A and B are shown apart, each in its own frame.
Chain A
């Protein structure tokens, strides 16, 4: 049994954890939920030795332990999988799995055959399948995650921490992950499981704990409270999870805002679609359907083979994201660490970086005052949880970092905003607020595109949905046709797919 007792952790100006005591039994899944910035990741980092607690202790089978880095916690049998993977992209799966713990032949050389063999066994035992020889950069996110899990569990592993493992997975991959977790359970591994998708918690967890503002407010068996009660515990009041009502707007035959007549990039069909003023267009599909690729090609980040696009009826070249932004088309990237955040920068600079042209004084200098006002406004609007916007953005919790890059898109004053997985890592309450905001933006006449793997989200907020598969648009759904059956049907290739 793993026990954390009276854990307290401070960051400058923030009491991130105050007197938290949780236990994890082997062979059990213990879910930890809470709003963005509640302290979930911090707690897990204390457990795995990334941070040192200011107070409190950790006990394994009643013996106190004090890991000071992840290597030490691994030796104690505690493994953590961070949301940002720590794999070496150019090494293949088994090289990653055994990195730093290579199996050697008696002569001291690498014993590739045994490593391969062991990795293969581990794959089989978890019932996952993918090529072991391929560089992990070429694997899907779900496969990379499997590599992480095997890396964590192939040596001594009694306790496994999964921090938002499902945030980047599609529903089918989530099911697969749960299968893997169940296999680990039957091997007597105990899991801490963090997620903002509460339905997942009810599927997989045995116990659930709620953190709020760094305090421990609840622990109980999963059956002891329903979703709404759980949310009420998380936010300290009751909130509706429901989506804002869609306005019944007439189908406009008006000229589209963006008319994509032809768009073809390597590996895609010739795509054509339109985005109208005042509508929220959803783009659904499975991983590998080419959704992100299409829009990166559209805004000129990636090369295209054919492109014919009209903005407000006028042809537009869109040769680079700069040109796109200059003509009022903004894009929010799906992978915030890799292509969204400037980690060394302050929160403020991260918010205003795309709109510096609008915070200049009349001499062309960046006006500190305007910059502060802009960032302050969006921090309030997005409810980014921080004591100062001059803090480094890496000091924010994951969900709040996501809010910061959404704020950046909003600050640009675009007429068309493309959001790629906008609510990844964002808590239930904040999600609902973002949906309301999207509606408001659409009502103001903006065109909004939401690329999302979160089906309820697509169904809940979009006025029209494109379903993509293998680089082509398989269906365009409107009104009552926007439902999970139809979307999944087209996304997985049904109906003359």
Chain B
């Protein structure tokens, strides 16, 4: 007995979004991260009155902005069932390209930063070609791409940081309306990603490739192009992160962002996106990135040693993934 009329659709149901539909917020895998975030904020603000201040909160969002922006691109990639290990190296490349253009060639800021982002995109496209065209496993291709861009950055700067003038620190260090510019950029990147993933057909295709590639091909989706696109997007977001970092540190850093890809992946996974692809939400990634940022900040404030911090982070990641797994649909 179907309790509502059979084969009759309830027209009043709101269009939430098209994947985790109909599930209450509690059933979403990123719910754990959200709760953990809230608990963490409350607990830390009780134990340290410096935590819940506007300054500190702004500071946290600026700190997470780089990881969060990279994690946006990573979300696209993981939704298709892929992985991108090259993003840390792209940050380094983007950073040295930008500093080199400014300091060695005297390019204006806008041009140098655009070229840095383009460089990131080109690396992403290269990975994409190998993955989409030659069907190589993403983990191997991007493992190779972890080396090449970083090597190029090191070669270009001889392994040393390449300083830029203080005037170029505006983007990384200043505020608009009291909000750090990197934070605003992060929000903008999330907004664009939201529109692409949830409002454009192409976003639906990203989910489809990860949901069932065979079915995607037979549904007329150009899966190769979609894959190419997601790695390009990942390159672009890593490139943007490189620009912000350069402006903030006032130098191109070929040795920066080592291991950053793992933070980005952690943010995506904490945000409830399935590592197998096809399932997840971009706002989950924001929650995941914030959780990581707040965790860093509050563990510091509590005075936990960096060594113990790593243990705590690992445990939280495991619990979050376990929680998401236990709440997977179709499990009792």
Contacts and interface: CB of A to CB of B under 8 A. Distances in A.
Interface stretch (B65-73, B88-96, B196-204, B250-258): B196-204
A388 B329 CA distance: 16
A341 B215 contact: yes
A388 B10 contact: yes
Nearest to B217: A321
B229 to A, nearest CB: 14
A318 to B, nearest CB: 12
B110 interface: no
Given A366-B199, A387-B3, A51 B22 contact: no
A389 interface: yes
A353 B2 CA distance: 26
A348 B18 CA distance: 8
Contacts of B22: 346, 388, 390-392
Contacts of B16: 390
B7 A386 contact: yes
Interface residues of A, number: 59
A366 B200 contact: yes
Contacts of A368: 15
B21 interface: yes
A392 B11 CA distance: 16
Interface in B1-21: 1-4, 6-11, 13, 15-16, 18-19, 21
A407 to B, nearest CB: 11
B311 interface: no
Interface stretch (B148-156, B206-214, B301-309): B206-214
B220 interface: yes
Interface string A304-348: 000000000000000011101110000101000011111111101
B279 interface: yes
Given A214-B1, A339-B215, A354-B220, A390 B204 contact: no
Contact of A376 (B11, B220, B274): B11
Contacts of A380: 7-9
Contacts of B278: 342-345
A408 interface: yes
Nearest to B280: A344
Interface in B176-217: 195, 199-201, 204, 207-208, 211-212, 214-217
B133 interface: no
Given A338-B214, A343-B212, A390 B13 contact: yes
Given A52-B332, A326-B220, A408-B219, A341 B212 contact: yes
B11 A345 contact: no
A146 interface: no
Nearest to A364: B200
B218 interface: yes
Given A18-B1, A345-B211, A385 B21 contact: no
B201 A213 contact: no
Contacts of B200: 364-366
Nearest to A69: B332
A215 B2 CA distance: 11
Nearest to B201: A356
Interface in A367-413: 368, 371-372, 375-376, 379-380, 382-392, 394, 408, 412
A442 B278 CA distance: 36
Nearest to B207: A345
Given A321-B217, A372-B15, A391 B9 contact: no
Contact of B21 (A342, A376, A392): A392
A353 B219 contact: yes
A13 interface: yes
B222 A345 contact: no
Interface in A106-131: none
A12 to B, nearest CB: 8
B215 A342 contact: yes
B222 A322 contact: yes
The SS class assigned to the B binding surface is loop
A366 to B, nearest CB: 6
A392 B217 contact: no
A15 interface: yes
B19 to A, nearest CB: 6
Interface string B217-230: 11111100000000
B104 interface: no
A380 B5 CA distance: 11
Given A301-B218, A339-B212, A383 B18 contact: no
A87 to B, nearest CB: 18
A200 B318 CA distance: 50
A338 to B, nearest CB: 6
A285 interface: no
B330 interface: yes
Interface string B285-325: 00000000000000000000000000000000000000000
Contact of B220 (A51, A325, A341): A325
Contacts of A99: none
A339 B199 contact: no
A46 B274 CA distance: 28
B240 to A, nearest CB: 24
A365 B199 contact: yes
Contact of A333 (B4, B201, B215): B215
B9 A376 contact: yes
B3 to A, nearest CB: 6
Contacts of B215: 333, 339-342
A343 B211 contact: yes
Contacts of A325: 219-220
A154 interface: no
A397 to B, nearest CB: 11
Nearest to B278: A344
A14 interface: yes
A402 to B, nearest CB: 13
B329 A321 contact: no
A116 to B, nearest CB: 33
A376 to B, nearest CB: 5
The residue among B11, B15, B274 with the most chain A CB atoms within 10 A of its own CB is B15
B9 A386 contact: yes
B199 A375 contact: no
Nearest to B4: A387
B21 A390 contact: yes
30 contacts: A13-B2, A15-B2, A52-B332, A320-B217, A322-B221, A324-B220, A333-B214, A333-B215, A341-B215, A342-B215, A342-B278, A343-B211, A343-B278, A344-B274, A345-B208, A346-B22, A348-B21, A353-B208, A366-B199, A366-B201, A372-B11, A385-B6, A386-B7, A386-B9, A387-B2, A388-B10, A388-B13, A390-B16, A391-B22, A392-B330
Given A13-B4, A388-B22, 19 more contacts: A13-B3, A51-B332, A301-B217, A320-B217, A321-B220, A325-B219, A340-B218, A342-B212, A342-B216, A343-B212, A344-B329, A353-B208, A356-B201, A386-B7, A388-B10, A389-B9, A392-B22, A392-B329, A408-B219
> What are the 5 closest A-B residue pairs judged by CB atoms, nearest first?
A325-B220, A356-B201, A342-B211, A390-B21, A339-B214
